[in-house]
Amino acid sequence: MTVQALRPSDVWLRWLSALSFLAVWAVAAKLAQAPLLPGPGAVAMALVKLTASGQLPLDLGITLLRVAASFAFAMAAGAAIGIAMGRSRRLDAFFDLWLVLGLNIPALVIIYLCYIWGGLTEVAAIVAVGLNKVPNTATILREGARAVDRELLQVADVLRLPRLRRLRLVYLPQLYPYFMAATRSGLSLIWKIVLVAEFIGRSNGVGFRLNVYFEFFDITNILAYSASFIAVVLAAEAWLIRPLERRLTGWRA
Amino acid sequence: MNALEVEIRRKAYRREGREVAALTDLAFAIPPGQFACIVGPSGCGKTTLLSIIAGLDRDFEGPVRRPAAASRLGMVFQTPRLMPWLSVRENVRLALDPPPRQESRAEELLREMQLGALLDAYPSQLSGGQQRRVALARAFVRDPELLLLDEPFQSLDAPTAQHLRDLLLALWARRRPTILFVTHDLREALSLGDRVLFLSAGPGRVVFDLPVDLPRPRDIESAAIDALRKRLLESYPDLLRGLAAASSAESAA
């Protein structure tokens, strides 16, 4: 799912695309003349106001912390389960059905169950969001563990590498592409589900705030929150995910 | 340093539920510092034998005594088996314990092998011959007492293969490790070894033990080696049938 590098001659097309999106939006808003479709200008104003008041940064920060915690939990648990299943035929045969079940439980059901069993707490929210991602991470990492090259592990055996070096230099690098795939699909899933968990059971964060504005039919602020959220996702992709990917799998270039 | 003593009574594989014997009553001893070659038709269990001696395969009957502590074992596989995510330098450092932080014997050896300009290249950027040189360096850098090589130079062009053979002989002359060199090329065996062990078609066992006392340095293309090879093929046509077929196919090509 890597974005293909643009040719310099195509960069202006990107800009044109962004500008025409804003233009279409502005024209549509002008024609509609309705409070239900504010134009880009109104949304930008709202964005500035919300940022200045400190409310938006606070909500965004809280949501990001929840994303980070859920993501860490989902990756750790999912990777452990997936690698164990990829390595052992028996574990795989036994838990495969569980994994299929996990992959197909609706996110909403997991969230409700976690809140019912764990109370409307921060931990329940984070676990609920993370649990939605665990089966997916496990499936991807299982594939990775199955594809591990036994010939390279034999080299580690002949060299009598200590466990930690073997893990760090021979085993895990083979899984990095799978970790990256799980990271990408995981973040995009968690971004979306965290908002649902927030509006159902938390009293702050982007998801909670969107629900409040929805109840007031305040489309301008809903769009302002969405825009800031999209900006954060794109920034994370550009300054976190892609550099990480370059670092871990740069040798393939 | 002791001799390498091998007495494998039986080594079998399971294939489709049936047991297939790979090696039976395979016994020999190599005194310290000797360069021994093992020759045999394909499928006779040469690679299996090396895996057992290297300690990679423990599922066999009969004692195998290695001359060296495990840490002084070097092995070169049929394919280079370099870690694609490690640079040339890091691949060789992998064999050093503890891993050096600065310039060390790894770089020294790589420069000796004319890889000094490629220290930070990744294996995918190297030619086949260069990759094999790195694999040799990885085996040499530990200063092994026992060096196992499994057709390390096959499918290389003749000058490259000869260059690598010379490197191997130079190392052997300097450090005198015990060497077990598997090949299916009789000429190569005669040009390298103090001694050539011939294995039968599978299940493999030693059918002929030939001391080679040709003076060194030897030239693989020389008349002496050619004559010796012809004499062997004529005197023991049955013994070497597998090989003779391979060699005559080669000369016909």
What CATH number should be reported for the domain holding residue A73?
1.10.3720.10
Asked if the C-beta of A152 comes within 8 angstroms of chain B's C-beta atoms, the answer is yes
Do B152 and B135 touch, CB atoms closer than 8 A?
yes
pTM for this prediction: 0.80
Here the ipTM equals: 0.86
Residue type, A38: P
CB proximity list for B179: less than 8 A, separation 6 or greater: B34, B35, B36, B146, B147, B148, B149, B168, B172
Encoded amino acid at B121, one letter: A
pLDDT tens, B47-94? 899 999 998 988 889 888 887 676 689 999 999 999 999 999 999 999
Query: Can you tell me the distance from the alpha carbon of A108 to that of A118, in angstroms, rounded to the nearest whole number?
Result: 15
For chain A, the C-alpha Rg in angstroms (whole number) is 22
Helix (H), strand (E) at residue B236? none
Torsional sign, CA A206, A209, A214, A220: negative
Tell me which residue range forms the domain holding B64.
Answer: 4-68+145-252
Q: Looking at the predicted structure, is the pLDDT value of residue B252 above 60?
A: no
Total domain count for chain B?
Answer: 2
Q: Looking at chain B, which residue has its C-alpha nearest residue A159?
A: B95
8 A C-beta contact, residue A82 and residue A145 = yes
Residue B117 in domain = yes
Give residue B250's pLDDT band: very low, low, confident or very high (50, 70, 90): very low
**Tokens (6 digits) for A228:** 């800031």
Question: What is the pLDDT at residue B244?
Answer: 46
Residue ranges of chain A whose pLDDT lies below 50: 1-2
Which of B142-146, B226-230, B246-250 is the least confident region?
B246-250
- Report DSSP state, residue A55: H
Cα–Cα dist A134/A77, whole Å: 6
Query: For residues B54-72, b (16+ Cβ closer than 10 Å) or e, as one string?
Result: beebeebebebebbbeeeb
Does residue A2 sit in helix, strand or coil? coil
- pLDDT given for residue B112 in this prediction: 85
Structure confidence at residue A66 (pLDDT): 96
From B103, B126, B142, the end of a domain falls on B142
Per-residue burial over A236-250, b if 16 or more Cβ lie within 10 Å, else e, is eeeeeeeeebeebbe
> Does residue B173 belong to any structural domain of this protein?
yes
| Domain count within chain A | 1
Type of residue numbered A11: V
pLDDT of res. B249: 40
Kindly tell me if the per-residue pLDDT of B189 is higher than 80: yes
CA dihedral B240, B246, B249, B250 (to 10 degrees): -110
Identify the band that residue B240 occupies on the pLDDT scale cut at 50, 70 and 90.
Answer: low
Q: Are residues B166 and B237 in the same domain?
A: yes
Asked if B115 and B174 sit in the same domain, the reply is no
Counts for chain A of helices (H) and strands (E), in that order? 12, 0
In a shared domain, residues B215 and B155:
yes
Q: A154, A159, A180: which to substitute to probe chain B, counting the most B Cβ within 10 Å?
A: A159
A158 in contact with B, Cβ within 8 Å: yes
Question: Which of these, B65, B157, B225, B85, lies nearest to A176 by C-alpha position?
Answer: B85
- Minimal-distance CA residue of chain A relative to B144: A159
Do B160 and B224 lie in one domain? The reply is: yes
Domain assignment present for residue A143? The answer is yes
The CA distances from residue B114 to B119, B123, B198, in Å, are 10, 15, 34
Q: Would the pLDDT of B193 be above 90? A: yes
Residue B211 is assigned to a structural domain of this protein: yes
Whether A23 is covered by a domain: the verdict is no
Structural domain contains residue B75: no
Report d(CA B143, CA B74) in Å as an integer.
8
For residue A213, the enclosing domain spans: 55-252
pLDDT of B245 reads 45
> Cβ distance A198 to A208 under 8 Å?
yes
Closest among A182, A205, A213 to A57, alpha carbons compared: A205
Backbone angles phi, psi at A107, to 5 degrees: -55, -40
CB atoms B56 and A157 under 8 Å? yes
Contact B48, B37 (CB under 8 A): no
Q: Identify whether residues B112 and B98 lie together within a single domain.
A: yes
Query: Hey, are the CB atoms on B81 and A161 less than 8 Å from each other?
Result: no
Q: What pLDDT, in 10s, does the model give residues B97-144?
A: 888 878 888 999 899 888 999 999 999 999 988 999 999 999 999 889
> Helix (H, G, I), strand (E, B), or coil: what is residue B165?
helix
Among B55, B86, B97, beta carbon nearest to A169: B86
Shared-domain flag, residues B154 and B137: no
